[in-house]
A and B are shown apart, each in its own frame.
Chain A
């Protein structure tokens, strides 16, 4: 019965075009051919019906993801206590770090992305933060386009975006594995990380293993170019107002990264980065930052939800900051050489559960400078933590920080972090 009905329906459908086209002999041969093909398909379908007790629906449509852009909103809430009375002033200098005793909300992020047209993709991240007076701060963290169709394995980015320096700088705070920014990234790039308006070209090389080379060119101005043309950070010198006098005054960020599959279950990524540009402490002073990074990950071949895994990530940075001479402040012309590193191990030991341990070390004692400046000087931090992901869209994290530092007293802090994500499914980068 079903079979008969199906055949009738198909016959009717086939008849419709025939009625209109029957008059033209040239067309009719085509139509006959088409009819033949359709008959073959019908045969196949009939066979399918015969094989199965229930009618298999022929063809369907995938109707998901039909919006022009993906929208998501992610909120990170921090709560906790520290022996330091004002963590934001000395201890937790990252802009998205837990900045005060009690609660703080320093990262609620609206993310938009999608295809602009066949040639470009667009991305935007708009961040809302609450300050200590619970006033809302707004930040256009990123907005940039990325090409999809350049030849020669090239890709261009343009707009405001995180510079490709090392591993963590370009990651958004909600995807960090610890509640706060590594100290060395704070020292080199400030609380916001290195991001600026500019452009970047990257090239996937034809080597037999993954190697990507990129060069970012930025204006290098303001607080998000912390070690560069940033009048807020001149190490005691009266900031000069340096305008661009040529392409040499821009900030250049080159990077190379390679990846190797060591075994079926182990992957290694190594990278080297640089950032070179003028700074505001003198008339022709320059800052040079060099970095090396390594990331290793083991993931079980029978992983469920991404667990179990073990990963290790380390970044080391060195900065030479040429500070200008400022007789009024009795500071000489000198190069402030600072360096530091952090190393972190994560162990995803059970579905949704990760334990982590991070060690931080930074130094920067040379130069004639104010000993009370919390943005330089040697300090260490050890941070064990535990994170539980109830699902892909939320997490709860507990972290202890032990801070040792010659400029302030040793500090103990306990921070709890909760995250929730609304909206489109975020894809995970490696």
Chain B
């Protein structure tokens, strides 16, 4: 008798969470936007931690289960997840997440990717064939992603489409307002170079007129070498570059050593809401924190 009850329970379990749209996002910025658009009509879970390297998330079996039960998967889709998402999808047995289905949102599809390589050559480090995949650091790309997410939600759950559209309008309006503010904040620093650890800030730079084009890594994905650090320090001193930005999963110690020798300031940044303090609120709060802390550090630099 007990066994029959258990079997019944097992059979019913997968249906118990079907009231809401079950959304899985590969990284936290998509999760945050999905929550803004979906409101209380969606349940969102995020696979990668906002503090960890998004190239190397573990393909945990529990993620396979999440994908198995998802109605929607939101991913960047520009090869950032290529080292861990494919085996999870293989095991997920979920046709709703097939490429081409409305349940599979690949945010890069609506975005003009930068730094698309003309030849694929790994002697240049770990470059991505589709282009630089860190496109969500430009809030205009966040705006495009929000639209894509909204469109997909409306297709899958037409009965709540009005809510989704209204939420999108609200989100976009807030973002547009903020964007004007952010641009104004960054205007005085137009053309300034800043140092980053990995080449993941080109979109942020393009949007706000900064040049994040000096890297602690000698080549993408290759750990900093003494020779390259010496080169970076020399350029920093010669050009009076005074800001180094570091993601939570990268070595702050390396950045601090460079900062000590050059008198630069180290600024903690993150590409994902929750990656650093004060960004837990969501995507707009994240960009807000980034703009303000980078602007503050640039202000402190002697002219």
Asked, given contacts A204-B64, A264-B49, A301-B52, whether A63 binds B130 with beta carbons under 8 Å apart, the answer is yes
| B221 contacts chain A at the CB level, 8 A cutoff | yes
Cβ-closest chain A residue relative to B89: A148
Please, what's the 1-or-0 string for B56-95, where 1 marks a CB less than 8 Å from any CB in chain A?
A: 1011111011001000000001110011111100110101
| B18 contacts chain A at the CB level, 8 A cutoff | no
| A2 contacts chain B at the CB level, 8 A cutoff | no
| B41 contacts chain A at the CB level, 8 A cutoff | no
Q: How large is the interface on A (under 10, 10 to 19, 20 to 34, 35 or more residues)?
A: 35 or more
Judge whether A205 and B77 touch: CB under 8 Å: no
Judge whether B221 and A392 touch: CB under 8 Å: yes
Residues from chain A with a CB closer than 8 A to the CB of B65 are 204, 209-210
Residues from chain A with a CB closer than 8 A to the CB of B223 are 351-352
Cβ-closest chain A residue relative to B92: A204
Judge whether B113 and A60 touch: CB under 8 Å: yes
Asked, given contacts A204-B68, A259-B61, A428-B59, whether A64 binds B122 with beta carbons under 8 Å apart, the answer is no
Residues from chain A with a CB closer than 8 A to the CB of B58 are 267, 297, 299, 306, 428, 430
Q: Which of B78, B83, B112 contacts A425 (CB 8 A)?
A: B83
Judge whether B64 and A148 touch: CB under 8 Å: no
| A121 contacts chain B at the CB level, 8 A cutoff | yes
| B 10-57 contacts with A by CB, 8 A | 10-11, 13-14, 49, 51-53, 55-56
| B166 contacts chain A at the CB level, 8 A cutoff | no
Please, what's the 1-or-0 string for A393-430, where 1 marks a CB less than 8 Å from any CB in chain B?
A: 10000000000000000000000000000000111111
Q: Which of B14, B90, B111 contacts A206 (CB 8 A)?
A: B14
| B 111-141 contacts with A by CB, 8 A | 111-113, 116, 122, 125-126, 128-131, 140
Within the complex, the shortest CB–CB distance from A55 to chain B, in Å, comes to: 10
Residues from chain B with a CB closer than 8 A to the CB of A58 are 112
Residues from chain A with a CB closer than 8 A to the CB of B143 are 48
| B160 contacts chain A at the CB level, 8 A cutoff | no
Q: Which of B13, B53, B77 contacts A304 (CB 8 A)?
A: B53
User: Which of A75-83, A91-99, A149-157, A175-183 has 4 or more CB atoms under 8 Å from chain B?
Assistant: A149-157
Of the listed residues A56, A118, A208, A393, the one surrounded by the most CB atoms of chain B closer than 10 A to its CB is A56
Separation of A38 and B183 alpha carbons in the complex (Å): 27
Judge whether B61 and A391 touch: CB under 8 Å: no
Judge whether B82 and A63 touch: CB under 8 Å: no
Residues from chain B with a CB closer than 8 A to the CB of A305 are 53, 55-56, 221
| A 217-275 contacts with B by CB, 8 A | 257, 259-261, 264, 267, 269
Q: Which of A52, A212, A261, A303 contacts B53 (CB 8 A)?
A: A303
Judge whether B82 and A51 touch: CB under 8 Å: no
Residues from chain B with a CB closer than 8 A to the CB of A260 are 62
Of the listed residues B91, B143, B251, the one surrounded by the most CB atoms of chain A closer than 10 A to its CB is B91
Judge whether B129 and A64 touch: CB under 8 Å: yes
Judge whether B176 and A303 touch: CB under 8 Å: no
Judge whether B60 and A303 touch: CB under 8 Å: no
Residues from chain B with a CB closer than 8 A to the CB of A328 are none
Residues from chain B with a CB closer than 8 A to the CB of A425 are 79, 82-83
Within the complex, the shortest CB–CB distance from A297 to chain B, in Å, comes to: 7
Separation of A306 and B52 alpha carbons in the complex (Å): 9
Judge whether B68 and A153 touch: CB under 8 Å: yes
| B222 contacts chain A at the CB level, 8 A cutoff | yes
Please, what's the 1-or-0 string for A39-73, where 1 marks a CB less than 8 Å from any CB in chain B?
A: 00000000110011110111111111100000000
| A137 contacts chain B at the CB level, 8 A cutoff | no
Judge whether A301 and B51 touch: CB under 8 Å: yes
Judge whether A393 and B122 touch: CB under 8 Å: yes
Separation of A164 and B128 alpha carbons in the complex (Å): 33
| B249 contacts chain A at the CB level, 8 A cutoff | yes
Separation of A426 and B82 alpha carbons in the complex (Å): 8
Please, what's the 1-or-0 string for A134-152, where 1 marks a CB less than 8 Å from any CB in chain B?
A: 0000000000001011100
| B180 contacts chain A at the CB level, 8 A cutoff | yes
Please, what's the 1-or-0 string for B171-210, where 1 marks a CB less than 8 Å from any CB in chain A?
A: 0000010011001000000000000000000000011010
| A302 contacts chain B at the CB level, 8 A cutoff | yes
Cβ-closest chain A residue relative to B85: A427
Within the complex, the shortest CB–CB distance from A61 to chain B, in Å, comes to: 8
Separation of A154 and B91 alpha carbons in the complex (Å): 10
| A329 contacts chain B at the CB level, 8 A cutoff | no
Judge whether A62 and B180 touch: CB under 8 Å: no
Q: Which of A148, A208, A267 contacts B13 (CB 8 A)?
A: A208
Within the complex, the shortest CB–CB distance from A31 to chain B, in Å, comes to: 22
User: Which of B102-110, B230-238, B280-288, B291-299 has 4 or more CB atoms under 8 Å from chain A?
Assistant: B102-110
Asked, given contacts A206-B13, A391-B126, A430-B58, whether A302 binds B249 with beta carbons under 8 Å apart, the answer is yes
Separation of A57 and B116 alpha carbons in the complex (Å): 14
Separation of A22 and B23 alpha carbons in the complex (Å): 43
Separation of A154 and B248 alpha carbons in the complex (Å): 39
Cβ-closest chain A residue relative to B248: A302
Within the complex, the shortest CB–CB distance from B236 to chain A, in Å, comes to: 22
Separation of A306 and B59 alpha carbons in the complex (Å): 11
Judge whether B62 and A302 touch: CB under 8 Å: no
| B 139-177 contacts with A by CB, 8 A | 140, 143, 176
Residues from chain A with a CB closer than 8 A to the CB of B56 are 303-306
Residues from chain A with a CB closer than 8 A to the CB of B106 are 62
Q: Which of B53, B95, B108, B207 contacts A306 (CB 8 A)?
A: B53
Q: Which of A53, A61, A210, A428 contacts B61 (CB 8 A)?
A: A210
- Beyond the given A62-B113, A302-B52, could you list 16 further A-B residue pairs with CB under 8 A, ordered by the A residue number? A47-B176, A51-B140, A51-B176, A64-B128, A148-B93, A155-B93, A210-B64, A260-B62, A261-B60, A299-B58, A303-B249, A351-B251, A427-B84, A427-B87, A428-B58, A428-B87
Q: Could you show 25 A-B contacts with beta carbons less than 8 Å apart?
A: A47-B176, A54-B206, A57-B112, A58-B112, A62-B113, A62-B131, A64-B130, A64-B131, A148-B98, A155-B93, A206-B11, A209-B62, A212-B61, A267-B58, A303-B53, A303-B249, A304-B249, A352-B223, A390-B222, A391-B125, A391-B221, A392-B221, A429-B59, A430-B61, A430-B87
Which residues of A pack against B, CB within 8 Å? 47-48, 51-54, 56-65, 118, 121, 146, 148-150, 153-155, 204-210, 212, 257, 259-261, 264, 267, 269, 297, 299-306, 351-352, 390-393, 425-430
